[in-house]
Amino acid sequence: MGLLSRRATCNTHGQDSSYFLGWQEYKKNPYNEVNNPNGIIQMGLAENQLCLDLLEPWLMKNPDALGLKRDGISIFKELALFQDYNGFPAFKRALVDFMGEIRGNKVSFDPNHVVLTAGATSANETLMFCLADQGDAFLLPTPYYPGFDRDLRWRTGVEIVPIHCTSSNGFKVTLPAIEQAYRQAQKRKLRVKGVLITNPSNPLGTTMARDELYLLINFIEDKQIHLISDEIYAGTVFTSPSFVSVMEVLKDRNLDQTQVWERVHIVYSLSKDLGLPGFRVGAIYSNDPVVVSAAIKMSSFGLVSSQTQYLLSAMLFDKKFTKEYMSENHKRLQKQQKDLVSGLEKAGIRCLDSNAGLFCWVDMRHLLKSNTFEAEMELWQKIVYHVKINISPGSSCHCIEPGWFRVCFANMLESTLKLAIQRLKSFVSSIAMKSQSHQELKSLRRKARNNWVSRLSLQSFYDREQDTTTEVSFSYRPHFMSLSNIAATLDAAA
């Protein structure tokens, strides 16, 4: 092992998290309606498969984009040869136009401020390399995406300090929570370089309110640190309140062309909004030219292929298609989410009110044996191994309240979702039946003890009467056991 690097042998990747362990169990026994109907249903994967049927017809109607042709003439050689690290100008223009559209065109983006990366994972890590050194820290509101422990820390050496949010206000970010996290970092002698948020939130499925964004902007302005807004779910907002980008807030505050303007950075990708995680298309948007320059140099380690850029340029420039796609995507996401929420409610399980994303933040605290993370893990294991559903426990998202779970709904057919809900309902019913049986047994034990006390009183009265001259006749005198013997007998029966 001495011949390997510390990075190769360290355990800071987070692969041993229950978030990743659930995936491993699913891979061993994946559900298939025909070939493995009793397998594990994957509800731990935030993937949007609801509108793939809309993408394939577009490809059939636009064979040049797929066949690497321009006006019917092959451009294979042009795409196959070496590309500039900056990416194709046409694709970057198409991407920023799409980013503006899904934000209601309330803000616009400059393609010269875009750095293309191989997915949002690469974008977030690249920003860490640009903004922080090993041992520096970023503050993250909890609960947060479990993969951040890998993406932000593993290779960069940057520390994560949680901003602890609670269910008391729907897990919203508050100033006391931010200040507490900042003080905690100082106690650990960490230099705080910034705050990273996901908006819409993964795993909450909620959009940040404007006042929360104002709060964050004020905080980073006061501390002179950075803010990264991971907005990869911006196009998944399917009901009110609408999505507010951090760029919109900066404009509202007239902070453009200021130092704060240059310390706010956005991460985006097409993995969630278009359902194309396999295409590995991510982007950094920054108003700091130094950050853009550094990130472009680093992007050589994770470029987006020329073929992918060419194909998606054609798709994103088709405004009619993208508008229809996003409209239908919102409808399907809303229906699937509604089906999950209503199905769980019928099983006695509540969800946090949400309006975006590919998942729900599900409250199963009432199913825990105790208010501990050990009880949460015990419940999670039962759901994975016995109910055969993979979901992500809140502890993997660094939630400080045991009993919350992230449950994904957009990576499956409607029929699979119904089956998953039915499995959970049956599981909750079995718990209720066991609880009812336990309560009935406790009631029987109480009745037996009360009956024993009554008989003991009767015996005492009988004994007293035998010592008097009053003639009292009893047709029945029960045999009495000692209190300790009765209690032992009842405990044994239980």
pLDDT digits (tens, 9 = 90+) for 331-376: 999 999 999 999 999 999 999 999 999 999 999 999 999 999 999 9
Q: Are 153 and 132 in contact (CB under 8 A)?
A: no
Q: What is the pLDDT of residue 23?
A: 80
The residues pairing with 405 across neighbouring beta strands, listed in sequence order, are 362, 393
Which are the catalytic amino acids? 145, 230, 232, 272
Calpha distance 31→50 (Å, rounded): 18
CATH number at 6-51+323-431: 3.90.1150.10
Q: What is the pLDDT of residue 489?
A: 43
Question: What does the block give as tokens for 487?
Answer: 């209690």
Q: Are 462 and 474 in contact (CB under 8 A)?
A: yes
Write the CA distances from 260 to 114, 198, 462, integer angstroms. 18, 19, 90
Q: What is the pLDDT of residue 474?
A: 33
Calpha distance 207→82 (Å, rounded): 40
Q: What is the pLDDT of residue 73?
A: 85
CA atoms in the 13 A half-sphere facing the CB of 367: 27
CA atoms in the 13 A half-sphere facing the CB of 223: 21
Calpha distance 175→155 (Å, rounded): 30
Q: What is the pLDDT of residue 437?
A: 54
Helices 52-61 and 319-346, packing angle to 10 deg: 160
pLDDT beneath 70: ranges in the chain: 1, 434-494
Q: Are 286 and 265 in contact (CB under 8 A)?
A: yes
Main-chain dihedrals φ then ψ at residue 148, nearest 5 degrees: -65, -30
What sign results for the dihedral spanned by CA atoms 134, 286, 207, 334?
negative
Q: What is the pLDDT of residue 15?
A: 72
Instruction: Quote the pTM value.
Output: 0.85
So where are the chain's domains?
Answer: 6-51+323-431, 54-321, 434-493
pLDDT digits (tens, 9 = 90+) for 77-109: 888 887 788 889 999 999 999 999 999 999 999
Q: What is the pLDDT of residue 438?
A: 54
CATH number at 54-321: 3.40.640.10
Q: Which runs of consecutive H residues, i.e. helices, occur in 230-271?
A: 246-252, 259-262
Q: Are 216 and 227 in contact (CB under 8 A)?
A: yes
431, containing H or E segment: helix 414-466
